[in-house]
Structure 1
């Protein structure tokens, strides 16, 4: 389910489990929505939601966020989402600027795909009807 992204990250903010789960969930939701308009495309599994029992966040998990944003843009429309970053173990963790970029990109893509879904023409009737009504 889509959750409003946080697009006002500040240097003093801390990245927590709710933030991780929100970004992961929003990427999954964007993909599900995109599949209503485009054929299937590459997308990496991001696993289960994190809980307070989980040890922490890992570089490969954040890299999957980056990869999946890129996969969505490749599979749908080449949205301008900024420069993809790659994180490594024992290196600086994702910063607030990058969190703003990722969450703003999710919001931009979501709104565009949602607009495409909402503006699709639909018929007010069912074509063909029930086959048994003609017998």
Structure 2
């Protein structure tokens, strides 16, 4: 899966659709995979398969996204990404501020990880020469 540019300009009245949910889920998965290039292996809670138009998004699935997003700085660099929220069935849902926090946090982590990966120093020669 590939990185998808986050939507960081959510405003009141914007509607969430399946593409948004799938982007959050897949970007977090991508960030974990990207982080393994410079950090030790770790796992995140499984977020399931992509949603289709006939599927609903449930509170526990948003909570899993929140938990996995909060886990990334624990296992990589301690980015300041805001406070993890918890949602409950039949209660208020995330609002545009929370969507901006989630997407901005993903973008912050992505930019930092790609910077770390591209900034690694490499030797200009192979140790041991031509020996096999």
Q: 1:117 Cα deviation (Å)?
A: 0.3
Q: Which residue of 1 aligns with 2:82?
A: 82
**1:123 aligned to 2:123?**
yes
Which structure has the larger Rg?
Answer: 1
Q: 1:130 Cα deviation (Å)?
A: 5.4
Any idea what the Cα deviations from partners look like across 1:18-55, whole Å, max 9, x if unmatched?
0001111110111001111111124111111111122x
In 2, are the aligned partners of 1:5 and 1:22 still within 8 Å (CA)?
yes
2 CA distance for matches of 1:29 and 1:78? 18
Q: Structure 2 unaligned runs (5+)? A: none
3-state SS in 2 of match to 1:38: coil
Q: Which residue of 2 aligns with 1:105?
A: 105
Q: Which residue of 1 aligns with 2:91?
A: 91
Q: Structure 1 unaligned runs (5+)? A: none
3-state SS in 2 of match to 1:71: helix
Output the TM-score relative to the length of structure 1: 0.91
